[in-house]
Amino acid sequence: MSTEGEEAPVPRREELTMDVRRVRERASGRRRPAHRSVGVAVGTGVALVLAACGGPGGGTIDPGSDEVSVTLVTQDGSSPFFRAMEQAARDGAGRLGVALTVDPGEGPTDVEGQVRSVEEAVLRGDDGILITPVSGQVEDAITAAREAGVYVVALDNPTSSATRGADITFATDNRQAGTLLGQWVAARLGGDVARVAMLDLVGDDSVSVDVARHDGFLAGMAVPVGDPRRTGDEARSGTYGEDEGTYSIVCSRPSLGTAEGGADAMRACLEQEGPTPTVVYAAADPAALGAREVLTEVGLDDVLVVSVDGGCEAVDAVEDGRLSATAQQYPVRMVDLGLRAVVEVVSGGERPRTSDGLDFHDTGVALVTDDPVADVTSLDSEAARGVCWG
């Protein structure tokens, strides 16, 4: 997951409550039209309406005579990860005959924008909402949408409560993504001293994918972590891995998942007093690539840099050595499953199920590296390029 742009202010709780109350009050008089006409869609961001019938590679689901309408709410329209989602939604909408509205947000803290987008989808009479929720603060709006009869699918970022969250979540197991990276780093170092710089998204507990990736990475290195709902409560030094090498976390900085944020965070790490990192973990590929540029500028080419996302740019970076490894996730698959779920449910079909042992449907993750290690399954850059995005 990655984002661009300045951090948006988080609205006060009472402001969000008023938005949700307005959804419930105005949705109480909502009536579904007998037929959706093509070409009517409104959004606060980019509004796109697509209603194509069939086509090459079309799906097997027949949405029926009443056109199904869906809004995709992402976190940032400039991020490669979310742009891949948007393109997948356009392609899928064309195949399935869905009227699509795309409403991108302004970053990983844009709670107010996402609440507004959900509210407008309800008032528009949409059948479904696909959303990459920025935090649990969006859940009241999601609950209100469900009460109004909208089928809500969360993507990428599992909401924190099954009862107050979406109907279903299609997402990466983000803890597993971090774990694969940590296992690879531990095996690659083989007991050598690990001085780790942690470049999280926001560096607090507000974004669940941030916490899951952070803790998963450390757990993969066999570093004990504390509360799974918190980040940064691990011991700052100790031993890691089967070889019981020593580690220390020499720096922790937020990056917002952007190249600029990653570069700024890396500079701040290098400017502070203390040892130079030998490992950089970044929660998103753009931040990792920004950090690598700074490391290269100061001649630290031997530092291991690992991250999460696995888009085509990251796969290229693995091949040329700028990234040591990335955990590849599959946003196109998330969107495809989400669109099909809405069409299936609206048509009276079967509701999708969560994966065994999880409260969401796992869309998969794979470690990508051209430096494989024993006992950690991975793809090389050539294989990963065949399934990358962006």
312 in the same domain as 209: yes
Q: Count CB atoms within 10 A of the CB of residue 23.
A: 25
Is 311 inside a domain boundary? yes
- Rounded CA separation 163/183 (Å): 34
380 in the same domain as 253: yes
Is 3 inside a domain boundary? no
The percentage of residues in the chain with a pLDDT greater than 90, rounded to a whole number, is: 70
Is 82 inside a domain boundary? yes
157 in the same domain as 268: no
99 falls in which pLDDT band (50, 70, 90)?
very high
Is 89 inside a domain boundary? yes
- Rounded CA separation 228/314 (Å): 28
CATH number reported for the structural domain that contains residue 304 in this entry: 3.40.50.2300
The DSSP letter of residue 77 is T
Q: Which domain holds residue 373?
A: 174-328+365-385
| Tally of domains in the chain | 2
319 in the same domain as 188: yes
**Residue 85 reports pLDDT greater than 60:** yes
- Rounded CA separation 77/8 (Å): 14
What pLDDT shows up at residue 164? 61
**Residue 54 reports pLDDT greater than 60:** no
Indicate the range of 116-130, 165-179, 205-219 predicted with least confidence.
Answer: 205-219
380 in the same domain as 262: yes
271 in the same domain as 136: no
Residue 279 or 42, more confident: 279
161 falls in which pLDDT band (50, 70, 90)?
low
| pTM for this model (two decimals) | 0.81
301 in the same domain as 336: no
Indicate the range of 29-43, 197-211, 300-314, 344-358 predicted with least confidence.
Answer: 29-43
288 in the same domain as 263: yes
